[in-house]
Amino acid sequence: METIKLIINADDLGSGPGRDRGIFRCVEQGIVTSASLLANGPSFVEAAREARRQELPLGVHLNLSEGRALTGIIAGLTDASGNFPGKPGLRRILTRGGLDLAGVRRELAAQIDRVWQAGLVPDHFDTHQHFMLFPTVSGLLIELARQERIAAVRLPLPAEAPQDDPPPPLGDELALYRRLAPALVELVAGSGLFAPQGLWGMPCLDRMNCAALAELLDRIPAGIWELMIHPGFVDGDQTFSGLEREEEMRALIDVDIRRRIVERNVRLTTFGSCSCAS
């Protein structure tokens, strides 16, 4: 039987105590194998402490759109208080150019270094809202990975077929990713970094439940893949929170889902394990 290796990575660790508690629950009781930590997140310190206690494999969830920069004002990106511009604002900036790339590099290096300084060893990085897909910064990120001793990266290439994409606005997002991804695939392939073959779960954003997860697991072919998920308890009115996160959490700790993984002979793994073997 051909092997299916699957990294199940929870994004946005450090974004709030509810999200963090839900992610750690899915690691302890469910099928989550890895997480991505927001270095500028409001609950970074507590999340890093618990991740260290659990020896949780994790990466850095690099962020240029939400919250405040660790390094202060970045010309062409932040406001006068160092606040990031939000998702639509970042997309406009990355498309039109005029960005202080040296300042961006300092900020991203600071985010990675904060994770190292917390006593954690990041085994990969990925980018919040997939900004790595934009050519303005993709090469910079590859160089930064080498500099910061990170051996693996997420490849934000939707693994599902285009006909599975939902209607707008998410469908428009996925169409954008599919247009931008081929250039990044080529760049990563020539970089020496490890990356899974593609990213499952993107069309299920905010609607990942037991039924959707079971169907997805039945469709994954042989190879090394990543499944991106966003579990958690509700954190008030925070950007990263919502009832859909709790539904996703319930799916990830469901007994029938565990059984399905065993039946399909899916080997759960991490970025670090895969990059060491490649």
List 5's β-bridge partners, or say none. Answer: 224, 267
Residue of 11, 12, 123, 126 marked catalytic: 11
List 36's β-bridge partners, or say none. Answer: 59
11 is known as an active-site residue:
yes
- Residue 148 near residue 117, CB atoms below 8 Å: no
Residues 80 and 74: their CA atoms lie apart, in Å, by 9
**Residues annotated as part of the active site:** 11
